[in-house]
Amino acid sequence: MIVVMKPEATKEQINQVEEKLMDLGFSVHFSQGVDYTTLGAIGDKSGVDPRELEVLNEGVHKVTEISEPYKLAGRDFHPQDTVIDLDGVRIGGEEPVTMAGPCAIESKEQIETIARHVASHGASVLRGGAFKPRTSPYSFQGLGEEGLKYMREAADNNGLKMVTEVMGKSQVDLVGSYTDILQIGARNMQNYNLLREVGRSNTPVLLKRGFSSTVEEFLMAAEYVMSEGNEDVILCERGIRTFSDETRFTLDLSVVPVIQEESHLPIIIDPSHSTGIRNKVIPMARAGIAAGADGMIVEVHHQPDQAKSDGPQSLRPEQFVELMDQVNRINSSLARKPVKA
C-alpha cells in the first residue's frame, strides 16, 4: 500500500507514519513528488486496516492499496519518471541515450578504435562484453578482467560511460569496480540470486527482457533488484521469441508505451540482438526511438567481418553515422532534444 502525505505535512508527521508502518512489519520506501511525499509500504498487508493509517495524524492525505505485484517499479508508488544521472549522462530524460560498441572486447586497439568513433558521433555510453555468455561452449567467451581494463581505459579516453554484462554473483564486485552500469542479460533476467546481488550494489543496472517473458515478469525482475535498495534500473527490450523467423527475435515495440504507462523506470531498445541482421538494425532503431524509447543500445564494429562475436548484426562505422543522423531527425520531429555529436 502507499500512504500519501499532504503538502503541508511536517517531518514529525511523516516520521510518525514511517514508524507505524515499520511496527506493522512493512519496509518503507520514500518518493518525493513536487507537492506530495509518498511512503510505499512493502510487505504483507493482511490484517492491516488502512483506516488506522488514515487517521494517524493530520498530515495523512490518503491511503491506497496497490493491486500490481510490482510495487517499487510501478507508477502507483512513483508517479514521476525516474532519471538516472551518470555525471551528466541522463538516462530517462528528454534526450534519448545511445549506448554503442562491439559485442565483445577483442583487444585494446579494437575497443579504443570503436570507442573513438561512436563518441565522435553522439554515443554517450560504450557497450562491450568482457564475459560472454554464448550458446556454444566452444565460441569466444571474452577476455575477462583484461577486457574490462581495456574498456574502462577506452571509455575514459573518449568521455564515455561504460556498460558491460555481469553473468554471476561472484562477478558483481569485480565488474562493478570497472563499469558505470551493470548489464543483466536476457538469459539471467530471472536469475533471482544475481538480481538480489546487483540490487545490493550502488551501480545502476541495465536489465534486459527475457526471450519469453511477459511485461509483469519483466517488471518483477526489476522489483527484485529494487527491493534490495538499488532503484537505478534501466529496462531494455531486446526482442522476444515468436513464430516469426525472418529475424533472430521479434522486437516488441509495443512494450515501450506499455512499460511507460506501468512503470517510472526508463526503457531502451536493442535493435541489434533483436534482429540479428545488420541491415535491419537502423529501421528498428528508428522505430523504437519514434515509439518513445529513452535510448538504444547498438552493436558497432570497425571490422565486423572479422568480429569474434555477432559480426553479422554489428553496424559498420559509416552505418552508425547514418543511424545517428536519422535518430536526430526523429527527435526533432518529436520535439525532443537532439543527441549531441
Residues of the chain with CATH 3.30.70.1140: 2-64
| Tally of CA atoms within 13 A in the half-sphere of 223 that contains its CB | 20
Average pLDDT over residues 260-281: 96
Span 271-323, pLDDT tens digits: 999 999 999 999 999 999 999 999 999 999 999 999 988 899 999 999 999 99
- 267, 297 Cβ separation under 8 angstroms: no
Residue 151: the pLDDT is 98
What would the mean pLDDT of 171-177 be, rounded to a whole number?
96
Please state, in angstroms and rounded to a whole number, the distance separating the CA atoms of residues 304 and 179.
24
Neighbours of 130 (CB within 10 A): 28
Q: Does residue 86 contact residue 304 with C-beta atoms inside 8 Å?
A: no
Fold of the 2-64 domain:
Alpha-Beta Plaits (3.30.70)
Give the pLDDT mean for 228-238.
Answer: 96
Given a cut of 70, whether residue 139 has pLDDT beyond it is: no
Q: 10 Å Cβ neighbour count for 262?
A: 19
pLDDT at 252: 97
Q: Residue 263's beta-bridge partner residues?
A: 74
* Burial (Cβ within 10 Å: 0-12, 13-18, ≥19) of residue 187: middle
Q: What contacts 24+ positions apart, CB below 8 Å, involve 21-27?
A: 21/53, 24/48
| pLDDT tens string 20-67 | 999 998 888 888 777 788 888 888 777 788 888 999 999 999 998 887
Q: What distance, in Å, lies between the first and last C-alpha atoms of the chain?
A: 45
pLDDT recorded at residue 93: 85
Contacts of 103 by beta carbon, 8 Å cutoff, 6+ apart: 128, 129, 132, 299, 301, 307, 309, 310, 313, 314
Nearest to 126 by CA among 197, 178, 190: 178
Specify the amino acid at residue 188.
Answer: N
Cell of 86: 551518470
User: Can you list the alpha helix ranges (DSSP code H) found in 168-214?
Assistant: 172-176, 192-199
What's the whole-number mean pLDDT along residues 67-83?
88
84-333 is a CATH 3.20.20.70 domain: yes
pLDDT digits (tens, 9 = 90+) for 145-156: 999 999 999 999
CATH 3.20.20.70 positions along the chain are 84-333
CA separation for the pair 324, 121 (Å, rounded): 7
Determine the pLDDT at residue 341: 52
What are the φ and ψ backbone dihedral angles of 330, each rounded to 5 degrees?
A: -65, -45
What is the pTM (predicted TM-score) of this model? 0.89
